[in-house]
Chain A
């Protein structure tokens, strides 16, 4: 009832405001004015905002800097544009007004969207970073997050090469182990976990809120950072059409060379003692399942408007074939963003996006793994018949792994936000926004019928077969709505400026799915519907989810004389995912800033234009836990066939639940320095953060006698700490009128560790095959997901070494070892090698990650270069570790470097049958540095274009992932994964290299 009261009083407040301030503002005569906005070099400024002061009425300038607007004859115009100082001009009955804006080279003046509002960067007391839309579209990638890799300090992006996939985003380290790690995305006010539906070309700005003081306004969802995406809007003026495209070729960036038939025969003969003949075939399995593939994107947008309304509509198409045969991802997007100025006080708008995507998936786990293991002496496919690898070595034929089925996912998604803004007075604004996100997904997986006979294979036998065709159909739909109501008070009293925000938000999510399955569905794709299958084989399943959140937010920004800044925020979050006793949580934050450069004692120095210190403290939470985590549920369909035949369904309570489950809470302290110096030539930001996440969900083991099916209970116990330092520097220079350039870099050092499991069970994860049940351990004092393996001491060179390798009490430690096998460290000294001898040997989380960005403009040519990298982390060569049969293939290099009685290698074992225990042998450096993107563009001269009525043409060539320098011997050191099992290369999609050409035309 309390909630009700607060809400009612808040609403009463709104109504009161409405009644008091809804007075008619003016009744003067109106005037149509026009003009041009330019910089001091008389270059036009497109997209500048020309507004009547203290109203919502205004327009943006067109591509040539022109604007026209109807205004009261005595109005004061407010002209603003990013990168220029604001300017006010009185109309004074003039009809033509040309405005020259003074360039403002201080990047800190830029506006950052901070959640339920925006602020100048210089006024923010928390840690934020931004990337502009034009930066994002340079790269031939699916999502905006892929394009910001290496562009911002404190933001680690881990990419996969898989078409249609979104990268893993880690903002300032990994702060959870078992709850969700997804960063919150806010797309035009719509909260979401996934932005694969957003056409990058529609984005005007991407802002990242990094520290707790910045994300506390998102309270329970701020713990993993917040990324705010703002899409383009129309500007007043004639219709503008813009077309951009790029198309290019992708290829595998780095492949491991596997042994050829001869090397293979040699190795396996040595390992097995049986002579294997190399034969006449030598199959390179990777080349059989990989290809060079096409990718292309096309975007067209139309925008314009008048004083009453503006529009931006766009259509996009993206197609990415993927470099694995049979793979393809297509995405179509349609966007319409409209703003309507209803009256001088009221503005309404809508942003809407429809996305349809088709993903033709491939069985990568099977095919890619099998390619590593399949013997090269077996042919791939000859005259439509497959080489029978499974009869030879119990490994599927990789080509057949892909071609034995068809797996397609269709997704339709509609996302939008409708808002109304009511300016009650010049200093008080009410805003209400309703956002919705509908997702419909349909997956159809067909498994073809084939037998292990000569219809399918060159030779019969083996276990790769599918006696019945199968069809599985999965369909899900979800709907999420959010409703935000805020009041913003913005007023300056002399030198004191206050911006106060208060508001409420409500959110609800519902989801349901249905799955159906039948066998014996005909092979004709036109008949791939459940109804055509054998009804006696049908099975089905369905379920759903629903949760709700309700929140109250408040923020006070106080600015004294542009020198002293103070911010306080509070969010009260209620979530249905927690029991009533822990349902509400409060997330406060405080920040303070000192703009030293505004002090009088700084006015005589000429080094710094801006120098600001900031410090903040805040608390944020994470409620990404399953809806049923605290409720005791009954597991249905535990059936028993009493008299044979069809079983009677039964049930059981299989899980003990923690009825007092609560929020994961992260407390973060942040210090920063921001500056711009030497007339804006150099800008930079240094930051330090220390954040500790507490009450993290972790499984506590309970004895089996309690009957808990998995023997563990999810509860709040663990703590994880991330401490880091981040630095961003950018130098911008101009050699002469023709040549300008910039070079910038950022680096983040992060130290992650589990402060305490507090009775929680160490998490063992990262299992690879039968002999390596786990390879990582998340435990006290260690980084999350640390590799935990046996230490290799060397290779036994002779029988004497085996016999002489004894424990303190004289026990031979590895009595069953043979020469040429690994000697492992008996860590606990008990005279035998087992899991108790494992040691921690590092983690996938890098000690540092960095990006270097540089650009050069020479007349009409532009060049940009992005380099990214990370250092100080480890990866696990899971493919190598997965080798588990004596007839499995090996890497080509091993054929030469392996231990031999004469060679005496201390690091590579002799020829063996795989199935090795997890050890440091498989742990390798994960450091890499990559030339991520190089783009060269050329803008055609205007004189040429005027003849064909085109305002702008730019052509460009771009290379993505041109070159990587890494120590890792596997395919890629960039391995997205869960916190507790990151950095294990097992089924990672091969990273790709892309060469593309592009075109940008504006009419």
Chain B
């Protein structure tokens, strides 16, 4: 008995030794959370993560911020003379503030853009860092680097257009202290420096990315990089570069105009021959995967007598100004704008998928953005029921704009004939007569005007007004409180200034 006991106790002691002796007892690997060390395909996976950041649309301080969501819609469309805040009057006054140029540095939508774009840039920086040390073949590496650097350039291009000077961040901070102490993170670089960063990245992408037909659909191609690079030169009025880059794109044989403008923003038109840079949507985990909130924030909203299940919150409604300025016969109007029935006959508005929106007495607003409409009829367009992530591709760059940039550069370089040729390709497709303009100034105005309708509600108008120096005049004419020298740019978010210890300076007038 005694012996048994001794064995019994001794076995306890021995087991205890075994358990605790291994100092590894406290070295518990993290469960269910991958780390940089546990992912063998980290670099490739991080590049996909950079693409994923294109879908960010969190405007209320949530993780990831806003890249193409309602904040983007607000700072591109709603801020311009083409669209209004829309929705119900009391809903989201901070969007209304941007619409009316009463926004302040504490505006949450402006703050969400800043954090969204830098969050995306950080992902691109991580991917670039990881790719530089990754064991992948040279061609794949060049392509992936080109993609990551393209998206970083695109983000900086939007940032510099939103905010002007911004911090130049091209590396991943080691920890919070590093993040809080590096002067590059705390101060704004000049717009020239940022354009240099953008054009370096894009030139790398142009040099290293394959042509569109050599790679999978939806990936960044050489043509994508050339087009964006051309557009950055457009903003710098480097006409020669714009002309040669757009000419390369035109001559590449990779792109053309589609015949029917109406399909451009519908599912049937996804990744068509005109598409150059298109934010892809689809499905993941048996649910929809799209730009967070893009379609639903702009979806037609119930109002008045109600009685129907509406499609969204009704923001970013086309302005009467835009609606009324279309030339007679412009086919683009009806596929850009959902016009609510005010006829008092209550016929309602039938959309391309057969959905009927009731007449004005049951709807909140009179116009909605047709380009943001995604059908909920799964037989027409794929929809798995997740309204926040509707499968609505966003067309950032398409061939029509290449033609318009080419035309503008040609005109500025004294080739108005070439310019009107390209311009007329656009007009003809729209069902409009050829342009009559012939003088440099007239052709320039005709191109600028064409950009408005061709690219209506495609997130270009406000930037274009600022680029061409017309912002104050046009916005004031539209009855907005636009202050020249101030409202061309958004304010730097006040929280970011505080976090920099006051080292980030504010834009003029805020």
Contact = CB atoms under 8 A, between A and B. Distances in A.
Nearest to B120: A707
B21 interface: yes
Nearest to B285: A539
B5 A346 contact: yes
Contacts of A649: 45, 48, 284
Contacts of A3: 20-21, 23, 25-26
Contacts of B493: 704
Contact of B2 (A22, A549, A709): A22
B150 to A, nearest CB: 14
A641 B119 contact: no
A643 B218 contact: yes
A434 B470 CA distance: 79
Interface string A797-813: 00000000000000000
B420 interface: no
Interface in B118-160: 118-119, 121-123, 125-126
Interface string B211-236: 00000111100000000000000000
A15 B13 contact: yes
B46 A452 contact: no
Interface extent on A, as a size class? 35 or more
Contacts of A18: 6, 9-10
B42 to A, nearest CB: 7
Contacts of B306: 391, 461-462
A342 B5 CA distance: 10
Given A639-B52, A706-B122, A627 B20 contact: no
Nearest to B51: A640
A647 B284 CA distance: 5
B462 to A, nearest CB: 22
A422 B2 CA distance: 12
Contact of B309 (A463, A504, A545, A550): A463
B283 A650 contact: no
Interface in B39-61: 39, 42, 45-55
B308 A461 contact: yes
A738 interface: no
Contacts of A638: 48-49, 52-53
Given A432-B12, A633-B30, A644 B287 contact: no
B274 interface: no
Given A346-B5, A506-B20, A642-B217, A627 B48 contact: no
Interface stretch (A225-233, A357-365, A710-718): A710-718
Interface in B175-219: 175-176, 179-180, 185-186, 216-219
A643 B33 CA distance: 28
Contacts of B53: 638, 652
Given A550-B20, A705-B118, A707-B118, A651 B42 contact: yes
B375 interface: no
Given A463-B309, A537-B286, A652-B46, A506 B19 contact: yes
Contacts of B308: 461
B13 A652 contact: no
Interface stretch (B166-174, B400-408, B453-461, B483-491): B166-174
Interface stretch (A522-530, A590-598, A653-661, A838-846): A653-661
B176 A537 contact: no
A652 B25 contact: no
B132 to A, nearest CB: 15
A508 B27 CA distance: 12
A631 B176 contact: no
B384 interface: yes
Contact of A643 (B121, B186, B217): B217
Interface residues of B, number: 96
B1 interface: yes
Nearest to A711: B115
Nearest to B14: A11
B64 interface: yes
A492 interface: no
A700 B23 contact: no
B119 A704 contact: yes
B298 interface: no
A628 B28 CA distance: 11
B23 A461 contact: no
B90 interface: yes
A539 B288 CA distance: 12
Nearest to A714: B176
Contact of A709 (B63, B185, B218, B499): B63
A543 B30 CA distance: 11
Contacts of B36: 632, 634, 653
A467 interface: yes
Contacts of A538: 286
Nearest to B497: A703
Contact of A706 (B38, B90, B179, B287): B179
Given A653-B126, A706-B179, A641 B219 contact: no
Contact of A7 (B20, B282, B495): B20
B469 interface: no
Interface in A667-695: none
B216 A642 contact: yes
A642 B220 CA distance: 10
A638 B46 CA distance: 9
B354 interface: no
B35 interface: yes
Given A702-B176, A703-B185, A546 B28 contact: yes
A8 B493 CA distance: 59
A485 to B, nearest CB: 6
B271 A644 contact: yes
B28 A11 contact: no
Contacts of A24: 2
Given A1-B23, A641-B282, A650-B49, A704 B126 contact: no
B120 to A, nearest CB: 8
B31 interface: yes
A107 interface: no
Interface string B257-285: 00000000000001100000000111111
A156 B420 CA distance: 81
B175 A641 contact: no
A642 B175 contact: no
Contacts of A658: 175-176
A504 B16 contact: yes
A504 to B, nearest CB: 7
Nearest to B176: A713
Contacts of B385: 467-468, 519
A1002 B2 CA distance: 41
Given A468-B385, A633-B35, A706 B63 contact: no
A544 interface: yes
Contacts of A648: 48
Contacts of B176: 656, 658, 700, 702, 706, 713, 715
Nearest to B184: A705
Nearest to A648: B48
Contacts of A430: 9
Contacts of A11: 13-14, 16-17
A543 B31 contact: yes
A240 interface: no
14 contacts: A2-B23, A24-B2, A420-B9, A506-B25, A642-B51, A644-B391, A646-B283, A647-B282, A651-B34, A651-B46, A654-B119, A701-B499, A704-B493, A710-B62
- Give the 10 A-B CB pairs with smallest separation, nearest first: A707-B122, A650-B48, A641-B282, A652-B49, A643-B217, A704-B115, A706-B179, A640-B51, A709-B63, A576-B28
Given A538-B286, A638-B49, 7 more contacts: A3-B21, A8-B21, A638-B52, A644-B218, A650-B45, A707-B125, A707-B173
Interface of B: 1-2, 5-6, 8-10, 12-14, 16-17, 19-23, 25-36, 38-39, 42, 45-55, 62-65, 90, 114-115, 118-119, 121-123, 125-126, 167, 169, 172-173, 175-176, 179-180, 185-186, 216-219, 270-271, 280-287, 289, 306-310, 384-385, 391, 393, 493, 495-496, 499-500
